[in-house]
Amino acid sequence: MNWFERYGIPGFYFVLLVAAFYYIIFGPPYDQDIVLTALGIALSASLPIGYILVIFSQRLFYCDRFPWRVHSEAWKAAKNDADVGKEWWVEAEATILGRWKCSDKDKIEKGKWLQEWFAKRFDVLAINSALILATFLGWVLVDLVGLGLRVFQKPPLVDCCRTGVLFLIACLSLLAVVVLIHSNRLLTKQAKHVATEYYEDLIKDLISTQTSSSRNHIS
């Protein structure tokens, strides 16, 4: 997945969601030129916004209490040990074992294919997490903008049609969050299963290599 897909999807989603909420709640501004200028700036900034959203979701991913951790849980299952390192450490350690300390060239080649498999899944996991974050931040931003506009005597437009459309978008956005959470759970289960098998093999290979080295050193 290229950088445009990784950052552009959550960025465009966030910009369009906020624009839709604002338009429905407060209506179009009087000056259309300002609207076009603001929309152009927002769309141009969608990639940086998407990058920031992905970075925030990545930071959450490496938190100890994040529900969609993969590496540390798989490492714990592979070693049958509750005392494991943090998510970022396990990911780095597994990379060292699989790419540097592994002596089996055939296994290294298979490991490269597996790394690509993981990369594709984690790209989807990152985008899903960024979209979830964008949905909640979009709602918060609209509420803050609405509060500021009320201070400047521009009340929201209230009628049955606008309320119905707003309720529909709210339901669809919440439904999207539920679907994305379910998708992340499935991806996490799949990745944990594969990672556990992979880490078990890496640990056995490391133990075997250390034992052989010890015997050669003694002899």
Three-state SS string over 113-170 comes to HHHHHHHHHHHHHHHHHHHHHHHHHHHHHHHHHHHHHHHCCCCCCCCHHHHHHHHHHH
Most confident of 4-8, 58-62, 144-148, 192-196: 192-196
pLDDT greater than 90 at residue 179: yes
Residue among 43, 25, 12 nearest 144 (CA): 25
pLDDT greater than 80 at residue 197: yes
Note the pLDDT of residue 152. 61
Strand segments, DSSP code E, in the chain are none
pTM: 0.77
Average pLDDT of the residues in 148-176: 74
Least confident of 39-43, 83-87, 138-142, 145-149: 145-149
Average pLDDT of the residues in 147-163: 65
Average pLDDT score over the chain: 78
